[in-house]
Amino acid sequence: MFRMLTSARWIGLTLTALAVIVAFGGLSWWQWERAQRDEPGVVAPVAASEIFLAGQVLADASYGTRVEITGVYDRAHQLLVRRGPATFWIVTTLRPESGAAVAIARGIVSSPQDPSVSDVPAGVVTVAGVAQPFEGDPGTPSTLPSGQADRLTEAALALPYSAASGWIALESQTPRAARALPSVPAAYGQGSTSSLRLQNAMYAIQWILFAAFVVFFWARMLRFEVRGVTTAPPAAPSSPVREVY
């Protein structure tokens, strides 16, 4: 076998395999570095009034936009969106001094009796968050008790005044609430960076698997060739040449 590996053919195959393995290893390392790269800086929010207009549906291009709005919470019109047996979103409409009122998903509680439901911040607050579209048909009614809904829709809010056709998943609030709540997950605009980092990590693993396949293929070729040499029938002895006198 060792004599076979020193042949010109196998030296060429081995060098080619090593070059491919090194290349795949380099690509794997590059993808892994990208997966470990720090996340880019957070994009500065725009004024909510730029994308939320009273009576108009939130444009698709505005989904996931980071926005900021200043106003006063409407304590009289609050909604609990039920997302599970012990998961409720607290949604309170924020009314700015000018511009459309916008529903704010303030956080998550495990029960409608949680003190945070009634502990609505008083006075003027500034909210920063991610713009989201309503969930489903604006006219879809809720079948849950009054003040609760299974989806965040315009009909479920049942506001007596005109408001924006969309809502904001709260990220931060000034001044801060007395009690910090788990954030409501946003379907748009969040998690995209982590998904990209996970994708890069998967690519890194993929290149390692490709390199392992090259090693497997090289070893398999060598094994088959060694078997072929050892099982080949011996050459028939040549017949002696008879001299005719």
- The domain of 24 spans 2-35+195-228
80 and 27 assigned to the same domain = no
- pLDDT of 219 strictly over 50: yes
First-to-last alpha carbon distance for the chain, in angstroms, is 47
- Number of domains present in the structure of the chain: 2
pLDDT at site 189: 76
Question: How confident is residue 194, by pLDDT bands cut at 50, 70 and 90?
Answer: very low
DSSP per residue over 187-240, as a string? SSSSSHHHHHHHHHHHHHHHHHHHHHHHHHHHHHHHHHHHHHHHHSPPPPPPPP
Computed over every residue of the chain, the mean pLDDT equals 84
What sign has the CA pseudo-torsion 135, 141, 142, 147?
Answer: positive
Tell me the C-alpha distance between 138 and 152, whole Å. 9
Whether 53 is covered by a domain: the verdict is yes
Hey, what are 2's tokens?
């060792």
Q: What percent of the chain has pLDDT over 70?
A: 82
Q: Assess contact for 151 and 123: CB atoms under 8 A.
A: no
Q: Which residue has the higher pLDDT, 236 or 147?
A: 147
- pLDDT of 163 strictly over 60: yes
Whether 40 is covered by a domain: the verdict is no
Whether 242 is covered by a domain: the verdict is no
Contacts of 105 (CB under 8 A, 6+ apart): 81, 89, 90, 91, 129, 132, 152, 167, 168, 169, 170, 184
55 and 24 assigned to the same domain = no
Q: Which residue has the higher pLDDT, 156 or 194?
A: 156
What crossing angle do the helices spanning 192-231 and 8-36 adopt, rounded to 10°? 170
Tell me the C-alpha distance between 27 and 119, whole Å. 53
Instruction: Indicate the DSSP class of residue 60.
Output: G
103 and 199 assigned to the same domain = no
100 and 174 assigned to the same domain = yes
Max avg pLDDT among 2-11, 163-172, 192-201: 163-172
89 and 23 assigned to the same domain = no
